[in-house]
Amino acid sequence: MFAALIALLAQNVDSPVTAVPPPIVRPPIMITPSASRRIATSDYRSADPPIRIGVRATAGSRVLLADDFRVDTMIGANFTQSRSEAPLQQCAGPDQYSRQHSTTFNLRLNVRPNAAGQRLMSVSVSWTRPMEGANCVTSGTRGASIEQNVTIEPGKPVVLTGDGGLRVELTPR
């Protein structure tokens, strides 16, 4: 068997050696950036200055929020407040920990120009609170919300009302 292998190798020694062609190497694709204009942040900003708006949110005689916010076409205003605490009444048994009283208030304001060139403000308000009369047997929360678009004009307050006595007054400054 070795003899046959040696004979085979001997035959190939006299034959011309064929060179293996080198692999084809293609140059990398060159991407040349075009001379595009860099977009500045100011290109997106409105020429109008931000709106400064006073917000007073109440529920009956309870003041939920009284503050001023700045809003423009790029950046809205957000406010969130939450509170959790033990209930007024101590409950016994396995449900005693699920009886916490939680209150949340959320406000979101965004502004954009409308077709008439006025400023249209998107107002989103939500308020949740413990239900009245909650006790060791019944508990839960109640909520009210307002989702509305309003036209903001200098010096003209806008009043929005919702369920549960929720009232939001927007006053452009």
| Residues in contact with 159: Cβ distance below 8 Å, sequence separation at least 6, in sequence order | 167, 168, 169, 170
Residue 122 pLDDT > 70: yes
Question: Quick check: is 91 in a domain?
Answer: no
* Domain count for the chain: 1
What is the per-residue pLDDT across 60-87, written as a single tens digit (0 to 9) for each?
999 999 999 999 988 999 999 999 887 7
SS3 for 163?
helix
Question: Quick check: is 30 in a domain?
Answer: no
Q: Which domain holds residue 131?
A: 71-85+100-151
Question: Quick check: is 139 in a domain?
Answer: yes
pLDDT, residue 113, reads 84
Question: Quick check: is 64 in a domain?
Answer: no
Place of tokens 């700045």: 70
SS3 for 148?
strand
Question: Quick check: is 121 in a domain?
Answer: yes
User: 166: burial class by Cβ within 10 Å (0-12, 13-18, 19+)?
Assistant: buried
Question: Quick check: is 108 in a domain?
Answer: yes
